[in-house]
Amino acid sequence: MSDDKGQNKSAQVRYATFLPAFLQSPLFREFLIMATRVEALVNPDILIWARNSAGLDVETAANKIPVKEDRLTSWEAGSARPTVKQLRKLAGAYKRPLAVFFLPEPPRDFQPMHDFRRLPGEVAGVQSPELRYEIRRAIARRSIALELIKSLGEHVSAFRFTGTMDTTPAELAERLRELLKVSLVEQVSWESGYDSFNRWRDAIESAGVLVLQMTSVNPRESRGFSISETPLPVVVLNTKDSPQARCFTLMHELAHIALRKGGLCDLDDHTARRPEELQTEVYCNNVAGFALVPSKALLNEPVILAQHNKDGWKEENIVYLANRYGVSREVILRRLLILGRTTEAFYKQKRKLYIEQAEQRERERGPGFAPPDKMAVASAGPTFTRLVLENYQSESITASDVADFLEVRLKHLSRIREAVLG
């Protein structure tokens, strides 16, 4: 493949977020090489904007780079200037392209995402640097994906499925299952939690929704979020959750998209929050539960028909039902509670136990390690990864673009291609 040819074509898709045309052009790299005085090019306001938008204070940012605090402060005040090498470290710490530091003024940032999480003072309104980055990355990947689809000459599916909270959760859930074309017979044939997650994700992406995953955010901060803008709305899940929990988050966020109410979620409707946020989260939780575990099917399960004591549910039966439907034990208990087959007291008792067990597993589990190629595919998802690889094969983008878009070194490309394209 001609590198010049790929470089020219890649101008259509490279940095399809906020960089102006000049910074997208191949001449920009030449410009950097020719520049002899970096200090004449960097606007201190850009440095302040980049740090603030990353959610970092001066002390934390200085430790990440690393430099002394007074050195970073002097750069932001304009009394001193960073070198190119130091700018690269800033770009890494703030998770921004190096080119952004040469803009004449701070770009207009993305609009804040609606927060359906707990009230201020608990979680809502507070976003870690990791979560801020995942939101930026999801927005950028959606923009890039739209450009990549056009570059391949493919049609961008218009996700027209909508719903309102005037519809009962059961009715919206039934419509969602019809949209996804997943039968109950097919669902209960899936062999594991990962199998269930992969199949639901494939069905949702086939319906015109981009599914991504965040890899560095604590689930207690956010289980997932969604961007309901069309075409190509986005669902973002948390890889630190179990695959069964991610199945529930998928459906919960799909309900948000149907309502055109995308935002940040923790899926916990047991804590105080603004009434409108609580109402939306309860509704989306119910839709997810009805969709994953249909009432009629659950009530006709032999273990349900044989159970007469609402407070006497055996753990083995709860586990059996959770495995059968590919969901968590709490989802099964929640469905039983909604259907009047258990009591609030039993549900709360079990839920408390499950939370304690999960926290214990988290304490015992080490940091773990996944190969870079697998993490890249898990984060970007099958659809986004396929779009990147197919554009590379058609010489619409360069190898450098592939590395940028998938955030992985090129030496892992063959394994990524094999995993996604077979």
Q: Report the side by side order of strands in the sheet with 234-238.
A: 210-214, 234-238, 224-227, 264-265
CA gap 204, 196 in Å, rounded: 12
pLDDT bucket at 120, cuts 50 / 70 / 90: very low
Cα Dmax for the chain: 81
Q: How far is CA 332 from CA 150, 182, 245, 347, in A?
A: 42, 19, 12, 10
Share of the chain above pLDDT 70, in %: 82
Residue 121, Cβ neighbours under 10 Å: how many? 8
| DSSP assigned state of 153 | T
Short-list 138, 50, 127, CA closest to 93? 50
219 or 249, which is more confident?
249
28-37, 101-110, 142-151: which range is least confident on average? 28-37
pLDDT bucket at 101, cuts 50 / 70 / 90: confident
Output the six-digit token pair for 368: 């773990």
* pLDDT tens track for 298-313: 999 999 999 989 988 9
What are 320's strand-pairing partners? none
The predicted pLDDT at position 268 comes to: 63
Output the six-digit token pair for 26: 């191949």
18 or 310, which is more confident?
310
Q: What is the CA radius of gyration of the chain?
A: 24
* pLDDT tens track for 67-91: 999 999 999 998 888 888 888 899 8
CA gap 265, 252 in Å, rounded: 9
pLDDT bucket at 284, cuts 50 / 70 / 90: very high
Does position 220 have pLDDT exceeding 80, yes or no? yes
Q: Mean pLDDT in the chain?
A: 85
Residue with tokens 């039966």: 317
93-107, 144-158, 305-319, 405-419: which range is least confident on average? 93-107
The predicted pLDDT at position 2 comes to: 45
Q: Where in the chain is the domain with CATH 1.10.260.40?
A: 19-102
* 37: three-class secondary structure by DSSP: coil
CA gap 226, 255 in Å, rounded: 10
Does position 12 have pLDDT exceeding 50, yes or no? no
1 or 407, which is more confident?
407
Share of the chain above pLDDT 90, in %: 57
What's the average model confidence in pLDDT over 163-172?
Answer: 95
CATH number assigned to the domain with residue range 19-102, chosen from the 4 options 3.40.50.2000, 2.170.120.30, 1.10.260.40, 1.20.120.420: 1.10.260.40
342 or 277, which is more confident?
342
The predicted pLDDT at position 279 comes to: 86
The predicted pLDDT at position 34 comes to: 45
**What does the H/E/C string look like for 51-89?**
HHHCCCCHHHHHHHCCCCHHHHHHHHHCCCCCCHHHHHH
Does position 35 have pLDDT exceeding 80, yes or no? no
Q: Judge whether 250 and 274 are in contact, CB under 8 Å.
A: no
Query: Parallel, antiparallel, or unpaired: how do β-strands 210-214 and 234-238 relate?
Result: parallel
The predicted pLDDT at position 390 comes to: 95
CA gap 125, 50 in Å, rounded: 19
What are 264's strand-pairing partners? 115, 225
pLDDT bucket at 26, cuts 50 / 70 / 90: low
The predicted pLDDT at position 157 comes to: 80
What's the average model confidence in pLDDT over 94-122?
Answer: 68
Does position 314 have pLDDT exceeding 90, yes or no? yes
Short-list 115, 113, 167, CA closest to 277? 115
Short-list 374, 371, 373, CA closest to 413? 373
Does position 107 have pLDDT exceeding 80, yes or no? no
What's the average model confidence in pLDDT over 312-332?
Answer: 95
**Residue burial 35-74, b: 16+ Cβ < 10 Å; e: rest:** eeebeebbeeebbebbbebbbbeeeebbebbebeeeebeb
Kindly give the residue spans of alpha helices, DSSP state H, lying in 152-213: 169-180, 184-187, 193-206
